Structure 1
Amino acid sequence: MNHRLAISTISLGWHASHTLERKLAAAAAAGFQGVEMFITDLDGYATTHGITRVQAAEDIKRLCAQRNLEIVCLGSFDNFEGHPTRSLEERLQIAREWIAMADGLGTDVIQVPSNDDKDAVGDIDTVVADLQALADLGLRQESTAIAGLPVKFAYEALGWATHVADWEESLRVVERVARPNFGLCLDTYHVLARLWADPRSPTGRRPGGDAALRMSLETFRARFTDPATTVSSTAQTPIVYVQLSDAERLAPPILPGHAAYSEHQDGVHSWCRYGRLFPLERARGAYLPVLDVARTWLKDSGWTDGWVSMEVFHRDMEREGSGPEHWAERGRRSWEELVKRLDEE
């Protein structure tokens, strides 16, 4: 395994005192090689310094360079495909600003989660056509900050998305889009919360979850693993990067009366921001079979040398005392434990 390790800036704290400068310093001190730049952190920096988003991106690029941090991507560019009211040209105009921000940051990747608007258009031809237009925009507007490379889009299936909620579905979309700059972002939380776990159940488990997960991993191995060779991730697969996280088993579960419950939101969505943890943090209640997924995605497959990013959300991130240094150190320890466990097998 020769993966490079990153962490999302949103996973380093949410309190006003958790400034982006402090987050970047904490990530570098903990030994991370890169960061996912979350749009709220970029916007917060721009507001604090009274500058535009693109100017903020250029500043942040310098801050990261000073700390030897690479910016893996800019995310997340939400609810693009199948938008129920905004025209495609309006959406592409917004995308142009995102491309300019990515260029300012010095990254060639923008993360695009699948649409979770309840009114989103689900017609596959519309979804594909919209995303082809986005990818074509990225192909035309090459990034000057990164040696004229096309802008890439990493499409992630959200576990609560309206139409594309499984990684297999997102792969089918990627294959239909059929553009060299349009690939996958895979996230252990969204796969396991969709197939195996249930935060609304007292057991924390979905009936049939083991079989569903086993089938999903078998599908992944069949699609991405060449038993005869070890291949480079960038040459052979549409995977752009992978996100890792675990989650806390909740007692009581997310039902009416729970602090995280919302009658307007899927339980998996509510759990996402309430109780995600770094992989294998068993002492803190983590219980998802992340190791099984990581083994398949990072060790057994041909995807052996790409970016792996820690992306977690937790209610404690709002606390001033749980600062970026705390989360960065936990993230690094989690990765080291996961690598150790995989190496021992």
Structure 2
Amino acid sequence: MRTGIATVCLSGTLKEKMQACAIAGFDGIEIFEQDLVTSPLSPEDVRKMAADLGLGLDLYQPFRDFDSVSEDLLQENLRRADAKFKLMSRLGMDTILVCTNVGTATIDDDDLRAGQLSRLAELAGNHGVKVAYEALAWGKYVNDYEHAHRLVDTVDHPNLGTCLDSFHILSRDWDTAPIEAIKPEKIFFVQVADAPKLSMDVLSWSRHYRVFPGEGQFELAKFMGHVARAGYSGPVSLEVFNDVFRQSDVERTAVDAMRSLIWLEEQSAKWLEANAASLAAGAAGGDSLANAAGRRRYPMELATLPKVAEPAGFNFAEVKTDEPAQLETLLGQLGFEFDGRHRTKDVQLWSMGQARVIINEQAPSHSEPAIAALGFDVDSPVIASARAQQLKAPVVPRKVQADEEVFQGIAAPDSTEIFLCQGSPDGTAAWTHEFGQPSEFGEGLEHPSVGAQAVIDHVNAVIDHVNLAQPWQHFDEAVLFYTSALALEPQPFAEVPSPSGLVRSQVMQTSDRAVRLVLNLAPVLQQEPGQQGNGARKSYQEHIAFAVDDLVATARAAQERGLEFLRIPANYYEDLDARFALEPAFLATLKELNLLYDRDASGEFLHFYTATVGSVFFEMVERRGNYDGYGAPNAPVRHAVQYDSLHAHHVQR
């Protein structure tokens, strides 16, 4: 598949955009007119630079408001088109995008439109230019790709074809199956964009909220499957209008864009394979559309990636800090056992059942605790790593010595290191033998106990979910990364109110819920008094949640060890009683231990939070029945309490 991207997708100058596209590995680009108009580069300079970078110049765009006009205005439009065709000759480009008229159309007459498009095609032919006619979803008279193509067919000129844009088609819920009936030589160009499903006017939706494939909710694989069945073999190019992308690092955005096309290529190949039987059945049944598609070959080559299964579970979570004392105390109070230090690295291992936490002390000076890495159990770490690297994931180097586990590591968009570990049926991890016993390697490190009652209990626990805060400019990138590289499925996102504003929350999970990753977009960055720039603290912290069988017993034991719980206000429990009419003794237990509660038709959910250390806190949960959520009604309470705690900390300082 020939890959392309419109320069409008990216930040920076035209030169910077072209360089970033070449670095990301694109075959070609669409030049957005404004990028050229504002560039100091001459058309000849742009042409030479593209050749030097190995980039094709695939499309010049957009040419607006041409058809459905009076004769006087048509003459002006033809003069304008002639100037653009001459400019394209200097650029060495042969295809222009002409959009259906939005602003100046006054005559709703298909015969008139066809005649005007015929005159444009004739002029374009004199310059060796092809016109790709595109139906804008908000076009005044033509907003349907089938309508636009009927006009192309009526004109029947070799220099006039159609441009298929996934956003304009899918935002209006147009059926994509008729694409297969379009002759491949009349499809001049294909543009793709994804988008979240939003209830708003289509123009605003298009101009601000498009995202790269895999970052939204459109059925793009189905769209591309129909395009492939039609016999199209030209460029598949991204055209994404997004305010965030146009403010973000240009090279990073270009790589994210390329990743999205690689992912889309694989998904489209899967769709074609999955729907091959239905196509054959339709053809056998005499369906004209299926017959037409079935007779064609698919000249578009759709590459696939190494196939991997979704992760089987969390292997470990790693927190990095050069001042581990508070973290050690907190884990001990929760009931984790200290399993010793690594024999060659300055890291500790703590465990509770199958839940493992690594404290990495190899951090810069004065580094407060922060989640640094996650380990996932996968069938084949090497194959999974190869797939991630083909999806442009950066490799994380890791030094190992003899008889040490060789982890395959990649970096997530928020810089969290992702390690792909060899899973085991019983949930054990082979690498734990690299850690010595506390008596040998833990000199000076004692369990934070309070009297004889603070003996560490052996509790069956697993990592239930991990909550990661995402930088605002990389949120959509993270969704695509975890979808494509780790085969996690994004769930419908939610927005949770907090004292700092709305927090967008996106759950990524495996089909069996063995891995649940919650990505949160913090509303703002807050600064402590006297801090500037990079000294800002995240207004939304990150946390690791552990599931246990008996949360009340776990909380009582932690309380005896001196754990500082997140203090839940009494108003919460009054509201809880009003909503659920809980048994008084149970409600009293919840209040005594600062436990939170939720219930739905499938089951119940109990959980509590610790105080925050650095940017990290922990959550302990118990799922009863088939409860599948995260206690969403309780999230605003947690946000408010943490906000108050942070504010009180600032005042004291």
3-state secondary structure, aligned to 1:246:
coil
List aligned pairs for 1:44-193, cutoff 5 A. Answer: 44-45=38-39, 48=40, 56-83=42-69, 86-117=72-103, 119-141=105-127, 150-193=128-171
Of 270, 273, 276 in structure 1, the residue corresponding to residue 207 of structure 2 is 273
Q: Which residue of 2 aligns with 1:247?
A: 195
Report the Cα distance in structure 2 between the residues aligned to 1:316 and 1:217, rounded to whole angstroms.
29
3-state secondary structure, aligned to 1:35:
strand
TM-score, structure 1 normalization: 0.75
Of 209, 223, 227 in structure 2, the residue corresponding to residue 293 of structure 1 is 223
| 1:246/1:86 CA distance change after superposition, 3 Å | farther
Q: Which residue of 2 aligns with 1:37?
A: 31
Report the Cα distance in structure 1 between the residues aligned to 2:191 and 2:177, rounded to whole angstroms.
20
Of 10, 16, 21 in structure 2, the residue corresponding to residue 22 of structure 1 is 16
3-state secondary structure, aligned to 2:217:
coil
Gaps of 5+ in 2: 274-653
| 1:222/1:139 CA distance change after superposition, 3 Å | closer
Report if the CA contact (8 A) 1:73-1:102 is conserved.
Answer: no
Of 170, 177, 184 in structure 2, the residue corresponding to residue 218 of structure 1 is 177
1:315 partnered with 2:243: yes
Q: Which has the higher contact order (CA 8 A, sep 6+)?
A: 1
Report if the CA contact (8 A) 2:222-2:268 is conserved.
Answer: no
Larger Rg: 2
Gaps of 5+ in 1: 50-55, 142-149, 196-212, 225-232, 255-266
Report the Cα distance in structure 2 between the residues aligned to 1:221 and 1:62, rounded to whole angstroms.
37
1:116-139 alpha-carbon deviations (Å, 9 max, x no partner): 126432211211111111111112
Alpha-carbon distance, 1:44 to partner: 0.9
Report the Cα distance in structure 2 between the residues aligned to 1:20 and 1:328, rounded to whole angstroms.
13
Report the Cα distance in structure 1 between the residues aligned to 2:196 and 2:245, rounded to whole angstroms.
14
Report if the CA contact (8 A) 2:118-2:155 is conserved.
Answer: yes
Report if the CA contact (8 A) 2:69-2:104 is conserved.
Answer: no
Report the Cα distance in structure 1 between the residues aligned to 2:19 and 2:106, rounded to whole angstroms.
39
Report the Cα distance in structure 1 between the residues aligned to 2:131 and 2:182, rounded to whole angstroms.
21
Report the Cα distance in structure 2 between the residues aligned to 1:119 and 1:152, rounded to whole angstroms.
23
Q: Which residue of 1 aligns with 2:600?
A: none
Of 2, 5, 18 in structure 1, the residue corresponding to residue 3 of structure 2 is 5
3-state secondary structure, aligned to 2:59:
strand
Report the Cα distance in structure 2 between the residues aligned to 1:83 and 1:11, rounded to whole angstroms.
31
| 1:223/1:239 CA distance change after superposition, 3 Å | closer
Query: C-alpha root-mean-square deviation of aligned residues, in Å?
Result: 1.7
3-state secondary structure, aligned to 1:312:
coil
Report if the CA contact (8 A) 2:8-2:35 is conserved.
Answer: yes
3-state secondary structure, aligned to 1:314:
coil
Percent of paired sites with the same residue: 34
Report the Cα distance in structure 1 between the residues aligned to 2:97 and 2:141, rounded to whole angstroms.
18
Report the Cα distance in structure 2 between the residues aligned to 1:86 and 1:331, rounded to whole angstroms.
42
Report if the CA contact (8 A) 1:6-1:308 is conserved.
Answer: yes
Q: Which residue of 1 aligns with 2:570?
A: none
Report if the CA contact (8 A) 2:189-2:236 is conserved.
Answer: yes
Report if the CA contact (8 A) 1:273-1:313 is conserved.
Answer: yes
3-state secondary structure, aligned to 2:188:
strand
Report the Cα distance in structure 2 between the residues aligned to 1:324 and 1:32, rounded to whole angstroms.
14
Q: Which residue of 2 aligns with 1:302?
A: 231
TM-score, structure 2 normalization: 0.40
Q: Which residue of 2 aligns with 1:206?
A: none
Report the Cα distance in structure 2 between the residues aligned to 1:276 and 1:291, rounded to whole angstroms.
16
3-state secondary structure, aligned to 1:328:
helix
Alpha-carbon distance, 1:12 to partner: 1.3
Alpha-carbon distance, 1:140 to partner: 2.0
| 1:244/1:318 CA distance change after superposition, 3 Å | closer
Report the Cα distance in structure 2 between the residues aligned to 1:194 and 1:86, rounded to whole angstroms.
33
Alpha-carbon distance, 1:318 to partner: 4.2
Alpha-carbon distance, 1:220 to partner: 2.3
- Structure number with the higher helix fraction is 1
